[in-house]
Amino acid sequence: MNLNRLFITFFGTGLAPKAPGTVGSLAALIVGVGILQFFPMDTLFMLTLAITIIGIFEINKYERETGSHDDKSIVIDEVAGMWIAMMFAISTAETMSYPFVWEIAIVSSFATFRLFDIWKPSTIGTIDRKVKGGLGVMGDDLLAGVAGGLLSALILMGLDKIL
C-alpha cells in the first residue's frame, strides 16, 4: 500500500468490509482521545487543519488516478470531522464538573458526528452532492463535525442543567 492510500484510508481502517466510515470514525476517536491524553487541544486542532489540507490534495490525486469520486475506503474526511466534533464537545465538557462529563462528551461527539455524516441534512448534503474532488469529499464531513460538535455541546449543557 502506498503512502497516499495509507493516509486517505487512515492506516487501512477505511478498508473495513462493512461500515468503513464508522470504522474510520471510531479509529479517529481513539487516536484523538490518545492525543488529548498527552497534548493540549491546540495540537489536535493543528493536526485536524493539517490532515484537512493534505487530505484535499491527496484525495484529488487519488481521484485523478482512479477516476472515482468519494470512494468508500477514503476515511480521512471522517477523521477530520470526528476530531472537530470532539473538540467542540470536550471544550464544553471542560467547563463542567458533573460525573463522567468527559466520557459523555466523547460518546456524544461520536454519535452526533455519525448522525450528521450519514443523514447529511441541508448544506452538508448539498456539499456532498455538488462539490467535486477533495474539497467535496472533505467539506461535508467538516460541516458534519461542526454540526455534531455543536449538538454535543448542547447535550452537555442540557445535562449540566439537570444534573
> For 80-127, how does the pLDDT look when each residue is reduced to its tens digit (9 = 90+)?
999 999 999 999 999 998 899 999 999 999 999 999 999 999 999 999
Cα–Cα distance measured from residue 122 to residue 132, given in angstroms and rounded to the nearest whole number: 17
**Residue type for position 55:** G
pLDDT at 163: 84
pLDDT at 15 over 90: yes
Cell of 141: 464531513
Q: Whole-angstrom Cα distance, residue 31 to residue 38?
A: 11
The amino acid that residue 72 corresponds to is K
Give me the chain's average pLDDT, please. 96
C-alpha cell recorded at residue 154: 448542547
DSSP for 18-75, written as a single string: S-HHHHHHHHHHHHHHHHHHHS-HHHHHHHHHHHHHHHHHHHHHHHHHH--SS-TT--
**Percent of the chain at pLDDT exceeding 70:** 100
> Cα–Cα distance between 20 and 37 in angstroms, integer?
26
Chain segment 127-157, per-residue pLDDT in tens:
999 999 999 999 999 999 999 999 999 999 9
Query: Using CA atoms, how far apart are residues 95 and 17, in angstroms rounded to an integer?
Result: 39
Here the cell at position 8 is 486517505
For residues 34 and 62, what is the distance between their CA atoms, to the nearest angstrom? 29
